[in-house]
Amino acid sequence: MKASDADILIIPGYTNSGPSHWQSRWEAKLSTARRVEQAEWTKPVRDDWIARIAEEVNASTRPVILVAHSLGVASAIHAIPHFRKPVAGAFLVAPPDVANPDIRPKHLMTFGPYPRDPLPFPSITVASRNDPFGSYEHADDIAGSWGSFIVDAGEAGHINADSGHGPWPEGTMVFAQFLSKLSA
């Protein structure tokens, strides 16, 4: 599948993805990408975030590719039962451990625990060995339950602009390879 054949939904996490974040760069570069906007980025409400993601998926006119980061991953996974249109694939990056009571801020725990059912579409989960919001082992475990292929990003922090992943060429290559294996 080519990026131009899909509706690429950019699903940021807590506080949104700023202009130097790889998600914002991809959104600007990919003509069929659009951000799922949330009403409240700093005080996320699980049901509201889920509803917005489902609304965007259900309004899509082409095959949907989810590109989620951090709390966007948790929201997207919880939104799946509300999708009335098929999703062609999901690129899931830095899933936080939303069930871990040591994670801050505490209100993010309302997004846990993750559903552990296999995903009804192909997916890749990219995880870091030193993400402050969730261990690699946690990401590997949930990715396994989803049937998602796990990509070890090494010591990449939270895989965001703050950890040096603005352009993120490695992510672009993994995403392109993932898209090439999907059928429209």
Residue 101 pLDDT grade (very low, low, confident, very high; cuts 50, 70, 90): confident
Residue 184 pLDDT grade (very low, low, confident, very high; cuts 50, 70, 90): low
Q: What is the pLDDT of residues 41-98, one digit of tens each?
A: 999 999 999 999 999 999 999 999 999 999 999 999 999 999 999 999 999 999 999 9
The helix (run of H) or strand (run of E) holding residue 179 is helix 169-180
What's the alpha-carbon Rg for the chain, to the nearest Å?
15
Instruction: Count other Cβ atoms within 10 Å, centred on residue 82.
Output: 13
- The structure tokens 């890749």 sit at 124
- In this structure, what CATH number is given to the domain that contains residue 49? 3.40.50.1820
pLDDT value of residue 64: 98
The count of structural domains within the chain is 1
- Check if the beta carbon of residue 77 is closer than 8 Å to that of residue 93: no
Rounded CA separation 102/54 (Å): 29
pLDDT value of residue 20: 96
pLDDT value of residue 90: 99
Phi, psi of 89 (to 5 degrees): 180, 165
Q: What is the pLDDT of residues 147-159, one digit of tens each?
A: 999 999 999 999 9
pLDDT mean over 149-174 = 95
End-to-end CA distance of the chain: 6
State the DSSP code for 124. Answer: E
Domain that holds residue 129: 3-180
- Report pTM: 0.97
